[in-house]
Structure 1
Amino acid sequence: MNQTNKFFFHADQVGSLLRSEAIKQARLQKAAGEITNEQLRQIENEEISRIVEKQKEVGLQAVTDGEFRRAWWHFDFLENLTGVEGYDTETGIQFHQKQTKSHAIKVTSKLDFVDHPMLEDFKFLQSIAGSHTAKMTIPSPSMLHFRGQIDKNVYPDQDEFFHDLAITYKKAIAAFYDAGCRYLQLDDTSWAYLCSAEQKELLLARGLNPEELQRLYARTINEAISGRPDDMRITMHICRGNFRSTWISSGGYEPVAETLFEGLNIDSFFLEYDSERAGGFEPLRFVKRPDLQIVLGLITSKFGELEDPEAVKQRINEASRYVPLEQLGLSPQCGFASTEEGNLLTEEQQWAKLRHVVEIAEDVWK
């Protein structure tokens, strides 16, 4: 058995959790100059410790810090890479009916990974995980290209940019491993955009070729994760957008399935499957590796109502026509708070959702 299989759990989660009232209040106080960075971090530590215990209580084996120290699932990590800066914009990212607050990132000098603050964030999580597995989530390297502006004076050559991006992530992966991380998740919305006819039209309008992006992103990801230690599990979560319970893209996995499942050297994929927008399970026919796990996001994180467990089990059974049952897992389709604003459900409903995942999984994989 591959050593990374010990970090595969039939019941799992994507990562982000609804920010608690204590966290929200502390952030407002910090912005107003009423508390220091040290005081904010102490409150974060206390709240993260609390929600880690809650994750253990509901039965999850892999625990996260809920991304409680972040405002965004991606920008906070990316803008702390050497060569990347965050900046305010006139408009945010447009979701259906809603728009995020205004923020973006740009590449202003050569890329590198040096002394990243999230290494300390992981070390704290590891210190309180106990016998559970501490799971770290970071954006996929694709997201820097997909969401960032790249100064052509810094990187006039596209291949040089992607090469440096891969090396930067290779250093990041090594640094997290040295910090004790054995379960690292790459979050990536670009692949879902490449499944959407509407979004591909928008990419073409930006001068981007969707087919070329598949090739470039796959090559970069594989280069970034190459040579990782055998006992480190690297997974990928693919999402169609998650902000205040809305979404951006629609379309099944067919356009990218062969590249993802046969071309990427990832250990597991977390796939959104909670609505018709994700299409059917047919693209899973490209899963041919016996060591590749597929975590089915059949439980929605967007709303609080619990799914019919028998209907979820039936869909797992349908997926097992393409992938052996032992290679499948269950999770929510996304996190509960990809941005600090969070989705439209209560904390109580969030924990009920995660408990629902565990209970269904325990029944299916007895």
Structure 2
Amino acid sequence: MTDTATKIKFPYRYDVVGSLLRTQALKDAHEKFKKGDITADQLQQVQHDETRKIVKKQVELGLKDVTDGEFNRSWWHLDFLWGLTGVGHYDYHQSYKFHGSKTRTDNADLVGRIAYNPDHPFFDSFKFLKSITPDGVTPKQTIPSPSMLFRDNRSDNWSKFYTSWEAYLDDLATAYHQTIQHFYDLGCRYIQLDDTTWAFLITKLNETADDKDEHQRYVQMAEDAVQVINQLLKGLPDDLTVTTHICRGNFKSTYLFSGSYDDVADYLGQLNYDGLFLEYDNQRSGSFAPLDRIWNGNKNKRIVLGLITSKSPELEDEDQIINRIKEAEEKVPLDNLALSTQCGFASTEEGNKLTEDQQWDKLSLVKRIAEKVWGA
């Protein structure tokens, strides 16, 4: 994963993070399915019809890569995790702690040894996306990072199935490696691992600074995340681009975490990803000071600046965004920078508080600014 000519085209100068607002037709179909008014096949047909529409719209906007909007899932992370062998579905009985809003209480936990599932439903979803993506445009697949299984009690049962934590981490890395390899075999050349763990760790490492033992717990979590991620990336095909999106939480335009990347910058700099999407749409994200440590001098890696918010409809001032890109250039060469929204528009099916037209306006703004900066 080192060939500059092959790798540097991804992420694109203007890129799409992943999720898109669910259309009203898709929402209506889900309600009908829950009531038993339509079958699973009928629901999938609506999903496919609506996915065709949003892929067509992304292409019309001139995006060079497109996603299925995550129309095949309810949660950005849980639907994928439930599809792995050894992961079950249970009621957490707690809402995830978003500021000013409550989520549903679904969660995932270990019910056996973690393994690759050749029948994971996301494979069929990708095959459909690829089949409707026109030549010259790249279908982009998004999945959650394996580090998402470290959190929110999801790995509490590990000792029931493993003699050591290391053995569990090895299985997790192997399951992910095989899953990503299968996406590649299906024609995927661009995959993104979404991850709220690093923003969680920013908060926890700060909160526990005066408690040595508790602090070490989160240091270990960061080290485990680096180990598993780099292990799963090892040996993947050279023409496959794997990026990550470092998310701070995205539910009904609210958020989970705040704080500078400074406390996790050195860990992020160790990750062997081809690109990192970083949220930088407001003061909660801190300054650009840690960017050089995150980029870590890797000329084959792009830092995607999430300077355009997906949480509100107001369009950012183009000149201000261009000035911020110039500020970031003091830390990372312009050739290794790109632009996106700070997150997707609907990390869960509920979606953020803006309209579909406003969503497309945001993505158009990303493209317009990138063309001014890079001529791309």
TM-score range, shorter chain: over 0.9
Q: CA deviation at 1:210?
A: 1.2
Match of 2:225 among 198, 205, 217: 217
Corresponding position of 1:339: 348
Question: In angstroms, what is the RMSD of aligned CA positions?
Answer: 1.7
The answer to whether the 8 A contact 1:112-1:168 is kept is: yes
Report the counterpart of residue 311 of structure 2 in structure 1.
Answer: 302
SS in 2 for 1:94: coil
Shift of 1:155: 2.8
Partner of 1:68: 71
Residue 298 of structure 2 corresponds to 289
CA distance in 2, matches of 1:164, 1:249: 29
> Does the 8 A contact of 2:47 with 2:72 survive in 1?
yes
The partner residue of 1:243 within 241, 251, 255 is: 251
Matched residues in 2 for 1:200 and 1:337: separation?
29
Q: Distance in 1 between matches of 2:345 and 2:175?
A: 28
Tell me the secondary structure at the aligned position of residue 303 of structure 2: strand
Query: TM-score, normalization: structure 2?
Result: 0.94
Q: Secondary structure at the match of 1:186?
A: strand
Q: Is 1:267 matched with 2:271?
A: no
* Unaligned stretches of 5+ residues in structure 2: none
- Does residue 361 of the first structure (1) align with residue 370 of the second (2)? yes
| Equivalent of residue 142 in structure 1, options 136, 144, 147 | 147
Cα shift at 1:15: 0.3
Distance in 1, matches of 2:30 and 2:164, equals 40
1 CA distance for matches of 2:71 and 2:213? 36
Alignment partner of 1:91 is 2:69: no
In 2: Cα distance, 1:312 partner to 1:281 partner: 13
CA distance in 2, matches of 1:349, 1:71: 22
**SS of equivalent residue, structure 1 residue 185:** strand
Find out whether 1:121 has 2:130 as its counterpart. Answer: no
Q: How many Å separate the matches in 2 of 1:200 and 1:280?
A: 20
Distance 1:163 1:2, change over 3 A: farther
The secondary structure found in structure 1 opposite 2:151 is: helix
Query: Percent of aligned positions with the same letter in both sequences?
Result: 47
**Residue 260 of structure 1 aligns to which amino acid in structure 2?**
L
CA distance in 2, matches of 1:353, 1:337: 14
What residue is the counterpart of 2:325 in the other structure? Answer: 316
- Secondary structure of 2:45's counterpart equals helix
Structure 1 position 186 matched with structure 2 position 190: no
Going from structure 1 to structure 2, the CA distance change for 1:111 and 1:65 (only over 3 Å counts) comes to same
User: Contact (CA 8 Å) 2:8, 2:301: kept in 1 or not?
Assistant: no
**Per-residue Cα deviation, 1:159-188 (whole angstroms, up to 9, x for no partner):** 111111000001111110011100000000
User: Does the aligned pair in 2 maintain the 1:193–1:199 contact within 8 Å?
Assistant: no
8 A contact 1:72–1:338 mirrored in 2: yes
State the distance in 2 between where 1:205 and 1:28 align: 47
Please say if residues 252 and 279 of structure 1, whose CA atoms lie closer than 8 Å, have aligned partners that are also in contact: yes
In structure 1, C-alpha distance between the alignment counterparts of 2:38 and 2:103, rounded to whole Å:
26
Instruction: Say if 2:27 is the partner of 1:24.
Output: yes
Answering whether residue 252 of structure 2 is matched by residue 252 of structure 1, we say: no
Say which SS state the counterpart of residue 236 (structure 1) adopts.
strand
* Whole-angstrom CA distance in 2 between matches of 1:212 and 1:305: 40
* Bigger Cα displacement from structure 2, 193-202 vs 348-357: 193-202
Q: Sort the Cα spacing of 1:200 and 1:166 in 2 relative to 1 into closer, same or farther, 3 A.
A: farther
Give 1:2 deviation, angstroms: 4.0
Q: Is the 8 A contact 1:7 1:133 kept in 2?
A: no
Q: Find the aligned partners of 1:159 and 1:98 in 2 and give their Cα distance.
A: 36
CA distance in 2, matches of 1:205, 1:38: 52
1:165: which partner in 2? 172
Q: Does residue 279 in structure 1 map to residue 296 in structure 2?
A: no
CA distance in 2, matches of 1:198, 1:248: 15
Shift of 1:8: 2.8
- Measured in 2, the distance between the counterparts of 1:307 and 1:25 equals 32
CA contact (8 A) 1:195 1:253 kept: yes
Question: Retained in 2: the 8 A contact 1:194–1:200?
Answer: no
Aligned equivalents of 1:206 and 1:228: distance in 2? 35
More divergent stretch after superposition (30-39 vs 143-152): 143-152
Q: Partners of 1:353 and 1:146 in 2: how far apart?
A: 32
Of the structure 1 ranges 37-46 and 195-204, higher mean CA displacement relative to structure 2 is found in 195-204
Determine helix, strand or coil for the equivalent of 1:6: coil
Query: Distance in 1 between the 2:99 and 2:367 partners?
Result: 31
CA–CA distance in 2 between the matches of 1:101 and 1:306? 30
Count matched residues: 365
Displacement of 1:156 in angstroms is: 4.4
| Deviation per residue, 1:97-133 (Å, 9 max, x gap) | 1111111110010111122110010010011111210
Deviation at 1:259, TM superposition (A): 1.5
Mapped contact 2:205–2:218 kept (Cα < 8 A): no
In 2, Cα distance between equivalents of 1:66 and 1:162: 30
